[in-house]
Amino acid sequence: MSSRVPFPARSTTTQQTDMTDKTLFEPYTLGSLKLSNRIVMAPLTRNRAGAGLIPSEHAATYYGQRASAGLIITEATQISADAQGYQDTPGLYTQPQIDGWRRVTDAVHAKGGRIFVQLWHVGRISHVDLRPGGTAPVAPSAIRAATKTFVNNGFHDVSEPRALALDEIPGIVEDFRQAAANAIAAGFHGVEVHGANGYLLEQFIKDGANTRTDAYGGSIENRARLLLEVTAAVATEIGAERTGVRLSPVSTAGAISCSDPQPQYDYIADKLDALGIVYLHVVEGATGGSRDAAPFDFDSMRNRFKKTYLANNGYSPELANARLIEGKADLFAFGRPFIGNPDLVERLEIGAPLAALNPATLYGGGAQGYTDYPTLADSSAR
Ligand code: 8OZ
């Protein structure tokens, strides 16, 4: 080919094109995993686990139907019997639970999907009727949350918690580590540590729930300690490239408060960055509510945490694309729209209408309102 062909200077043009070409629907590399797009199915509690808190027979179908998400993050899953706070949520601490989750991951893998499990300990958001031996829920401090949980087929006030003794804390870290190992045994691509929404790890982080005077309470560093110990233990067990963390700096879910969210969460973002975990999943604003619930600079967390930033809360495809092009986030979580739209990614890509979910079948029950929402292709074949 002639070297005389006039060739425009391309460098800046190419760079601009790369920037504006980014879309939600292009592949993305998360650690060593290739995702087929930037849309993530957010964790969604569905309360359908069966006896032994094993994922229900329908769970493999449900998650398999949604495998076109770039990444699925499962519903919150207990690390131990002690970690449960709601009726019929699944666990990942017995062999039958591992086997049950293996059916789920097999179904997702068969469709080329990617799936992380969200691991939680509910802390004070629990009820004695759900707890081993009917004992009090555990928490950083004996401060009862002014909220309810779903137990005995209805919503009831959470029980009065007791403060964890200092020598019980290593056991919590160990339960997270073991559950992460179990997750890999069950075929998950990775684990998300649930550090959000008013559950145990956030109860330690936020001073409205933590009045401890030991190494786990008081200063910003001390309140972040348990989250960071758990994350380090999980990352050491399964690899930092398979470990993500979810946070909700200004959410009051679980009737919690924090007097200093910006410095607290800036510190956490720096420390999680140093641990080298693969993503930071941030609920921007009130969980499931307003994005402007309280003043907070989420860009500060995005800038401190150098790896993948997964943005969550009230994203439309338009807002997600705009934030992507601005470089403000890498991946975008969609929650409730995935319930009624198993083919959400395809619908967003072609601008198809979204189906509404049925609130009556959100929590509990069987296949109805779980695996029976049609895809566009199903609907047009009828
Ligand atoms: C809805 C109902 C019960 C639990 C969360 C795990 O908010 C949950 C949850 C959501 O993170």
Q: What is the pLDDT of residues 337-382, one digit of tens each?
A: 999 999 999 999 999 999 999 999 999 999 999 999 999 998 887 6
Q: Which helix (H) or strand (E) holds 268?
A: helix 261-275
Task: Give, using CA atoms, the residue closest to atom 6 of ligand 1.
Answer: 76
Calpha distance 282→299 (Å, rounded): 11
Question: What are the pLDDT digits (tens) for 230-249?
Answer: 999 999 999 999 999 999 99
CA distance 95 to 113: 24
Q: How far does residue 350's CA lie from ligand 1's centre (Å)?
A: 30
Tell me what the mean pLDDT of segment 168-192 comes to. 98
Catalytic residue at 309? Answer: no
The tokens of 332 are what? 């975008």
CA–centroid distance, residue 102 to ligand 1 (Å): 23
* Ligand 1 atom closest to residue 254's alpha carbon, by position in its atom list: 7
Would you say residue 21 has pLDDT above 80?
Answer: no
Return the residue whose CA atom lies nearest to atom 7 of ligand 1.
Answer: 197
CA–centroid distance for 66 within its chain: 16
Closest CA to 320 of 332, 308, 307: 332
Q: What is the DSSP string of 92-121?
A: SSSHHHHHHHHHHHHHHHHTT--EEEEEE-
Which residue minimizes the CA distance to atom 10 of ligand 1? 45
- CA–CA separation, 62 vs 227, rounded Å? 30
- Please, which pLDDT band fits residue 28 given cuts at 50, 70 and 90? very high
Residue 336 predicted with pLDDT over 90 = yes
At position 153, the amino acid (one-letter code) is N
CB of residue 122 inside a 6 A radius of ligand 1? no
pLDDT of residue 343: 98
Query: In angstroms, what is the span from residue 253 Cα to ligand 1's centroid?
Result: 9
pLDDT class for 181, splitting at 50, 70, 90? Answer: very high
98 has a pLDDT exceeding 90:
yes
CB 86 near ligand 1, within 6 Å: yes
- Beta-sheet strands, E only, within the chain: 28-30, 33-35, 39-41, 71-78, 115-120, 138-139, 148-151, 154-157, 162-163, 190-195, 243-247, 279-283, 308-312, 331-334
Nearest CA to ligand 1 atom 1: 45
For the segment 61-75, the average pLDDT, to the nearest whole number, is 98
Strand partners, 13: none
CA distance 140 to 211: 8
Q: How far apart are CA 206 and CA 88, in angstroms?
A: 27
Q: Give strand pairing partners of 279.
A: 244, 308
Q: Is 118 in the pocket of ligand 1 (CB under 6 A)?
A: no
First-residue to last-residue Cα distance in the chain: 55
| Domain span at 268 | 3-380
Q: Looking at residue 293, what is its pLDDT?
A: 87
Mean pLDDT in residue range 2-29: 53
CATH number, domain with residue 34: 3.20.20.70
pLDDT at position 20: 52
253 pocket-lining for ligand 1 (C-beta < 6 Å): yes
Catalytic residue among 63, 93, 199, 265: 199
List the residue whose alpha carbon is closest to atom 11 of ligand 1.
197
Copy the structure tokens of residue 260: 């200093």
Q: Which atom of ligand 1 is nearest to the CA of 86?
A: 3
Is 45 close to ligand 1, i.e. is its CB under 6 Å away? Answer: yes
Query: Does the C-beta of 192 come closer than 6 Å to ligand 1?
Result: no
pLDDT tens column, 279-320:
999 999 999 999 998 999 999 999 999 999 999 999 999 999
Counted domains in the chain? 1
Query: Any idea what DSSP says for residue 24?
Result: T
Q: Residue with the nearest Cα to atom 3 of ligand 1? A: 45
- pLDDT on residue 380: 82
Residue 190 DSSP SS3: strand
pTM over 0.85: yes
Structure tokens at 378: 């199903």
As a whole-number percent, the residues of the chain with pLDDT over 90 amount to 92
Whether residue 62 has its Cβ less than 6 Å from ligand 1: no
Q: Write out the two tokens for 190.
A: 């990775």
**Looking at residues 17-22, what average pLDDT do you find?**
54
> 21-26 long-range contacts, Cβ below 8 Å, gap at least 24?
22/324, 22/325, 23/321, 23/324, 24/317, 24/320, 24/321, 24/324, 24/332, 24/348, 24/349, 25/345, 25/348, 25/349
Could you identify the atom of ligand 1 that is nearest to the CA of residue 44? Answer: 10
Instruction: Tell me the average pLDDT across 56-84.
Output: 98
* Residues 268-288 pLDDT 10s: 999 999 999 999 999 999 999
